[in-house]
Structure 1
């Protein structure tokens, strides 16, 4: 077998990383659905899925097969090209943003970072930009469906996402000011000195920014109590009313992939990313690979905790009215986010 050049090795490792991350993300999407059904079932004093496989663990596989085998219906008088491309845009944007997430400590092989597909200097802006494009999938799906309920759902979603994107983006400015960079790995490294005490939510005094981010993230992903775009009692199923089979499944997967992305960004920006909450309190043991494995464990544990909070809120809180939703975003979250930026800037200026 001929020796591979450094470029070929780098290319093969990158392709392998993309495949592995894509498979893990899609598997995580499927089992996040199962987790949600199980947790909400327990909170409502019922079992949740328990028939397919041990403890219901094969239920996501059964759901996927069912969606694949369902008849794919396309209603008359739809704008067919846009009707078909809308779920592709929604799912594609949801999966692409994972590419710049560093999900482990810096570990290189042949000069390639094994735990991040693309280390981009403006990684945070890349995530915000890609997830912003995802709203086009929702808008196009409602308009192209030739259904008034779908159109109303997509209009609600578009105005909701644009409104809360402003508060979400402003909530992250304080973190960027503290780290002095938009690079996600640099932001994580700035929080790793003293464990949890160095995290932005505690040592960085960005707890207000975190709660603004948290509430804006619920609205961005159309999750309860901000799930107005698909309010069943008002809009049947919202913007995906006319979708069936795998086109519906793509919207469904996009929603849960966006939840995972939001959890990743919250972990990186406010909870130290893949760093240990104990900092350097305990000495490293077992070599670099054990250290890398532990960093992935901490990253996954933080994401799991964030997803559990997502599900807990859904099972607890009632849905907002639409006027309450928009008023909350513009009249409360936006001013508080701006005040947080001013306070963080003043503190850093006096420290400097």
Structure 2
């Protein structure tokens, strides 16, 4: 009987975790869009959304209602089943990878880790695997639309993701070598000793790997200056030219959910995850509640800083030419990523 009760408690807590994380992620996606519009507005000396609600805070809700109520059009010549399933694949893959992200300190209730949906010992591989499947959504959307602009956009996206995925994966090998594990909790623990100085970005001398990850992540998420698949000035709207209503909204949400995932992974691998930047410099303050909430605060601050960097780069840099994009991935990022692995391995071997 006790086994059944334990299982029911585990199931209820797990469902609660999933619902809470999903709601927070979708809210974060909506408000990341607002943040981008506001910050870009300020950088271009204008206001950004300011009419709907106080300071424009209800703008994401208004946009969501507008998209939901729009007519959903499917082109006559489109491959209907694939046309419908493409945005579902894109959004599902973008949301699933959040499941393995530990966004707080280990806090167990009834033996369940409350700040990590799934603590998998190959968490990093799971994230890389799921995000690489997301490109199928883009590829299928372009092909199934039966539109030459959409097809060009999806071909660009596919070749771009394949090119930069290699550099992105290799940039993380140095971090894995230092931590000796693919489990995200272990990677965070290896950076928790002396605050900032223990982080892979500073103390781990993985600043080159961080730079490669940054560039490859921008290309993976089709963001400026690598937004060639949806280059409005060239391809109308790229792979989602023929999409409208909620299907278009799903692609839009997938892009911003991928940005948040990339920011979470960067925080975990290079910025110490939910650990304090001050390490053990200050004695632990407050009760168990503060001890549980403080790591989440640090995690959110780091993710927000990464998202602001995304927006800043979009406001600053012009789009690459396509041959420059490919050359940068294959001729620069890939060799530098390999050199970083060799250098990290040598240093660890000499220390050992």
Same fold (TM over 0.5): yes
Residue 53 of structure 1 and its aligned partner are, at CA, apart by 0.3
In structure 2, the partner of 1:168 is 168
In structure 2, the partner of 1:120 is 120
Deviations, residues 162-186 of structure 1 (Å, cap 9, x unaligned): 0000000000000000000000000
Runs of 4+ in 1 over 4 A off after TM superposition: none
TM-score, with structure 2 as normaliser: 0.99
Residue 209 (structure 2) pairs with residue 191 (structure 1): no
In structure 1, the partner of 2:156 is 156
In structure 2, the partner of 1:272 is 272
Residue 260 (structure 2) pairs with residue 260 (structure 1): yes
Tell me the secondary structure at the aligned position of residue 41 of structure 2: helix
Residue 213 of structure 1 and its aligned partner are, at CA, apart by 0.1
Residue 4 of structure 1 and its aligned partner are, at CA, apart by 6.7
Partner Cα separation in structure 2 for residue 265 and residue 333 of structure 1: 19
Residue 340 (structure 2) pairs with residue 334 (structure 1): no
Partner Cα separation in structure 2 for residue 168 and residue 292 of structure 1: 32
Residue 3 of structure 1 and its aligned partner are, at CA, apart by 11
Residue 287 of structure 1 and its aligned partner are, at CA, apart by 2.3
Residue 159 of structure 1 and its aligned partner are, at CA, apart by 0.2
Residue 301 of structure 1 and its aligned partner are, at CA, apart by 0.2
Deviations, residues 26-82 of structure 1 (Å, cap 9, x unaligned): 000000000000000000000000000000000000000000000000111100000
Partner Cα separation in structure 2 for residue 62 and residue 287 of structure 1: 40
Residue 291 of structure 1 and its aligned partner are, at CA, apart by 1.1
Partner Cα separation in structure 1 for residue 317 and residue 171 of structure 2: 23
Partner Cα separation in structure 1 for residue 315 and residue 3 of structure 2: 56
Partner Cα separation in structure 2 for residue 3 and residue 148 of structure 1: 58
Partner Cα separation in structure 2 for residue 292 and residue 258 of structure 1: 26
Residue 19 of structure 1 and its aligned partner are, at CA, apart by 0.3
Partner Cα separation in structure 2 for residue 52 and residue 285 of structure 1: 40
Q: Unpaired runs of 5+ in structure 1? A: none
Tell me the secondary structure at the aligned position of residue 243 of structure 2: coil
Residue 348 of structure 1 and its aligned partner are, at CA, apart by 0.1
Tell me the secondary structure at the aligned position of residue 133 of structure 2: helix
Deviations, residues 260-288 of structure 1 (Å, cap 9, x unaligned): 00000000000000000000001112122
In structure 1, the partner of 2:219 is 219
In structure 2, the partner of 1:284 is 284
In structure 1, the partner of 2:133 is 133
In structure 1, the partner of 2:210 is 210
In structure 1, the partner of 2:321 is 321
Q: Alpha carbon RMSD of aligned pairs, Å?
A: 1.0
In structure 2, the partner of 1:43 is 43
Partner Cα separation in structure 1 for residue 3 and residue 273 of structure 2: 37
Tell me the secondary structure at the aligned position of residue 49 of structure 2: coil
Q: Unpaired runs of 5+ in structure 2? A: none
In structure 1, the partner of 2:108 is 108
Deviations, residues 90-129 of structure 1 (Å, cap 9, x unaligned): 0000000000000000000000000000000000000000
Partner Cα separation in structure 2 for residue 183 and residue 155 of structure 1: 33
Tell me the secondary structure at the aligned position of residue 30 of structure 2: helix
In structure 1, the partner of 2:92 is 92
Task: State how many pairs are aligned.
Answer: 351
Tell me the secondary structure at the aligned position of residue 5 of structure 1: helix
Partner Cα separation in structure 1 for residue 288 and residue 163 of structure 2: 44
Task: Tell me: CA distance 1:124–1:3, structure 2 relative to 1, closer, same or farther (3 Å).
Answer: closer
Task: Tell me: CA distance 1:163–1:3, structure 2 relative to 1, closer, same or farther (3 Å).
Answer: closer
Tell me the secondary structure at the aligned position of residue 282 of structure 1: coil
In structure 1, the partner of 2:301 is 301
Partner Cα separation in structure 1 for residue 288 and residue 7 of structure 2: 25
Partner Cα separation in structure 2 for residue 3 and residue 251 of structure 1: 43
Partner Cα separation in structure 2 for residue 302 and residue 292 of structure 1: 17
Partner Cα separation in structure 1 for residue 83 and residue 73 of structure 2: 11
Partner Cα separation in structure 2 for residue 329 and residue 77 of structure 1: 35
